[in-house]
């Protein structure tokens, strides 16, 4: 718990804003969460969390005395620190759309007053946006004083599905801006930096964890660190997928190869899982954002473009495997297991399943899909797709000719395949996340490796 409680406003209550509000309230600050969506604010006021993020509901409930939810910006007036956590979706050419950041800045401006207030950009924004927000505040705030109202970049590195662990026990905290403002941020984050808070039941402190490294830098470098980190991670996955394709052709196993290279400390074993390719709201958006920033400066970024191209091809790799076995998809019943872009989230943004359902339908297949959590959301957001939502895994597999495992939910890892296979019409499984570990009575195709086989069975 902090010895120096501050008043904080968090603007935007999506994945990042909610995580930030929960973290700051947990370490002892008083937080107001602000959103333009009345629906979200009403849910939060009623004690409900609008997104699926493991442990977040418990953490928010445990700090409700220090949390207020509102659609009004009035509380910005008394806030010491104001976090901007609004969306920055990609425009048609990949350039991030800053309209939500601009409107948040315009609405913050009238509430700035004589006391020192730090405005923190936590949204992922193009390099130079911190300066832009500073200028917007300067132009729109009657009470603006450049000595007292400083913009800081504090990029967020949480992953959906493990947001609490990532926020409470980060590898690093990146802070860019004027040294005076960074001092205020150091006070705000003191319990996090020193790890003096009590670990919540929803997110225990990992045994080996000590404390984060604080990186104090300029606005521009902090903004660039966020993009470069995501681009590098996306690149790492695309690299694994590219090597996986060659593994299949030469008889090597991508998992053994990934372990073998990753044990070199310079490479690291994490984020080398070959599969259906990356999705989600960040990697596609941020690689495209970086390329568009390069374009603005007449600077090509061929490695990043290749990472995107490999990721696009990876979706087709799955379709190709299916086509090789079934020859045609016309009239075939294909089941997609997993719709969220990764397990433990309901987020459907840029989900591989979206592209696969689209393509399967185009090729004439009748598509059934299942997801343990994301189906209700898909029913609202994927109305442009043609597929049937299954009521259970059993229902999803019933009379299917083939199954594609797209998201590695634990429900699918622990599935009793031999029991479920009985209801299928065919016996083809494209395990695009390499989760099947024991031989089953079906023809299984994995990515970059031979699937475990018992007795080979002819496809019917």
Ligand X SMILES: O=c1ccn([C@@H]2O[C@H](COP(=O)(O)OP(=O)(O)O[C@H]3O[C@H](CO)[C@@H](O)[C@H](O)[C@H]3O)[C@@H](O)[C@H]2O)c(=O)[nH]1
Q: Which residues contact 232 (CB under 8 A, 6 or more apart)?
A: none
Answer for which of 113, 124, 273, 366 binds ligand NAD (CB under 6 A) is 124
How many binding residues for ligand X (CB under 6 A)? 20
Pick the piece of the chain touching ligand X (CB under 6 A) from 45-53, 188-196, 270-278, 439-447: 270-278
Pick the piece of the chain touching ligand X (CB under 6 A) from 24-32, 134-142, 153-161, 373-381: 153-161
Answer for which of 230, 335, 366, 368 binds ligand X (CB under 6 A) is 230
* Torsion 62-67-68-69 (CA) sign: negative
Least CB distance from residue 296 to ligand NAD, whole Å?
A: 19
Choose from ligand X, ligand NAD, none: what does 13 bind? Cβ within 5-8 Å by kind: ligand NAD
Pick the piece of the chain touching ligand X (CB under 6 A) from 75-83, 203-211, 278-286, 389-397: 278-286
Answer for which of 88, 117, 154, 287 binds ligand NAD (CB under 6 A) is 88
237 binds ligand X, rule: CB under 6 A? yes
- Which pair of tokens denotes residue 54? 């493991």
342 binds ligand X, rule: CB under 6 A? yes
160 binds ligand NAD, rule: CB under 6 A? yes
Note if 282 is an active site residue: yes
Beginning with the edge strand found earlier in the chain, give each strand of the sheet holding 7-11 in spatial order: 67-70, 30-34, 7-11, 81-84, 117-121, 149-153, 172-176, 213-217
271 binds ligand X, rule: CB under 6 A? yes
CA–CA distance, 102 with 21 (Å, rounded to integer): 21
Answer for which of 341, 382, 387, 409 binds ligand X (CB under 6 A) is 341
Within residues 104-143, the interface with ligand X by CB under 6 A covers 124
Q: Which is nearer to ligand NAD, 34 or 367 (CB)?
A: 34
Neighbours of 431 (CB within 10 A): 27
Residue 25 zone, left/alpha/beta (φ > 0; ψ -120 to 50; rest)? alpha
Q: Which is nearer to ligand X, 113 or 230 (CB)?
A: 230
- Which pair of tokens denotes residue 305? 């473009």
83 binds ligand NAD, rule: CB under 6 A? no
105 binds ligand NAD, rule: CB under 6 A? no
Answer for which of 17, 33, 130, 275 binds ligand X (CB under 6 A) is 275
Q: Which is nearer to ligand NAD, 14 or 275 (CB)?
A: 14
Q: Which is nearer to ligand X, 235 or 415 (CB)?
A: 235
Spot the catalytic one: 109, 282, 337, 397: 282
87 binds ligand NAD, rule: CB under 6 A? yes
156 binds ligand X, rule: CB under 6 A? yes
Least CB distance from residue 412 to ligand NAD, whole Å?
A: 22
Answer for which of 273, 287, 366, 434 binds ligand X (CB under 6 A) is 273
CA–CA distance, 194 with 146 (Å, rounded to integer): 30
Answer for which of 8, 15, 283, 321 binds ligand NAD (CB under 6 A) is 15
Beta bridge partners of 118: 81, 150
Answer for which of 8, 27, 34, 120 binds ligand NAD (CB under 6 A) is 34
32 binds ligand NAD, rule: CB under 6 A? no
148 binds ligand X, rule: CB under 6 A? no
Q: Which residues contact 345 (CB under 8 A, 6 or more apart)?
A: 51, 52, 53, 160, 161, 373, 374
Give the position of tokens 């594609």: 404
Residue 132 zone, left/alpha/beta (φ > 0; ψ -120 to 50; rest)? alpha
Beginning with the edge strand found earlier in the chain, give each strand of the sheet holding 366-370 in spatial order: 388-389, 366-370, 333-337, 402-405, 428-431, 443-446
Least CB distance from residue 433 to ligand NAD, whole Å?
A: 20
- Tell me which residues are annotated as active site: 282
Task: List residues binding ligand X (CB under 6 A).
Answer: 124, 156-160, 230, 233, 237, 271-273, 275, 278-280, 282-283, 341-342
Task: List residues binding ligand NAD (CB under 6 A).
Answer: 11-17, 34-37, 40, 85-88, 100, 103-104, 107, 123-124, 156, 158, 160, 281-282
């Amino acid at each position: 718990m902090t010895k120096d409680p501050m008043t904080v406003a968090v603007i935007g209550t999506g994945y990042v804003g909610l995580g930030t509000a929960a973290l700051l309230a947990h370490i002892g600050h008083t937080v107001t969460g602000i959103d333009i969506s009345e629906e979200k604010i009403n849910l939060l006021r009623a004690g409900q969390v609008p997104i699926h993020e493991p442990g977040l509901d418990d953490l928010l409930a445990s700090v409700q005395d220090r949390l207020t939810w509102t659609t009004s910006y009035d509380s910005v007036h008394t806030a010491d620190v104001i976090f901007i956590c609004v969306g920055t979706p990609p425009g048609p050419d990949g350039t991030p759309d800053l309209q939500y950041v601009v409107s948040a800045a315009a609405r913050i401006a009238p509430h700035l007053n004589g006391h020192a207030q730090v405005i923190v950009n936590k949204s992922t924004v193009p390099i130079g946006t911190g300066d832009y927000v500073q200028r917007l505040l300067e132009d729109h705030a009657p009470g603006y004083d450049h000595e007292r109202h400083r913009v800081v970049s504090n990029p967020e590195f949480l992953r959906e599905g493990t947001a609490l662990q990532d926020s409470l026990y980060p590898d690093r905290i990146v802070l860019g801006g004027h040294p005076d403002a960074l001092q205020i941020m150091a006070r705000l984050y003191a319990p996090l930096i020193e790890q003096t808070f009590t670990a919540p039941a929803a997110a225990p402190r990992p045994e080996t964890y000590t404390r984060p490294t604080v990186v104090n830098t300029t606005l521009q470098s902090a903004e660039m660190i966020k993009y470069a980190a995501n681009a590098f991670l996306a690149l790492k996955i695309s690299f694994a997928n590219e090597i996986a394709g060659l593994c299949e052709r030469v008889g090597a196993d991508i998992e053994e190869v990934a372990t073998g290279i990753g044990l070199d400390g310079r490479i690291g074993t994490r984020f080398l899982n070959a599969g259906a390719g990356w999705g989600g709201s960040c990697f596609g958006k941020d690689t495209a954002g970086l390329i568009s920033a390069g374009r603005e400066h007449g600077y090509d970024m061929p490695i990043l473009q290749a990472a995107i191209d490999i990721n696009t091809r990876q979706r087709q790799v799955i379709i190709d495997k299916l086509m090789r076995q079934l020859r045609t998809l016309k009239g075939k019943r294909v089941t997609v297991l997993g719709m969220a872009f990764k397990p433990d989230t309901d987020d459907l943004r840029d989900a591989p399943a979206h592209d696969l359902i689209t393509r399967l339908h185009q090729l004439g297949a009748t598509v059934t899909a299942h997801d343990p959590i994301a189906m209700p959301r898909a029913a609202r957001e994927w109305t442009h797709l043609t597929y049937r939502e299954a009521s259970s895994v059993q229902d999803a597999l019933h009379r299917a000719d083939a199954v594609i495992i797209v998201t590695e939910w634990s429900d699918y890892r622990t599935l009793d395949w031999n029991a479920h296979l009985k209801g299928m019409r065919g016996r083809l499984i494209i395990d695009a996340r390499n989760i099947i570990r024991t031989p089953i009575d079906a023809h299984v195709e994995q990515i970059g490796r031979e699937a475990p086989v018992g007795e080979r069975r002819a496809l019917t």
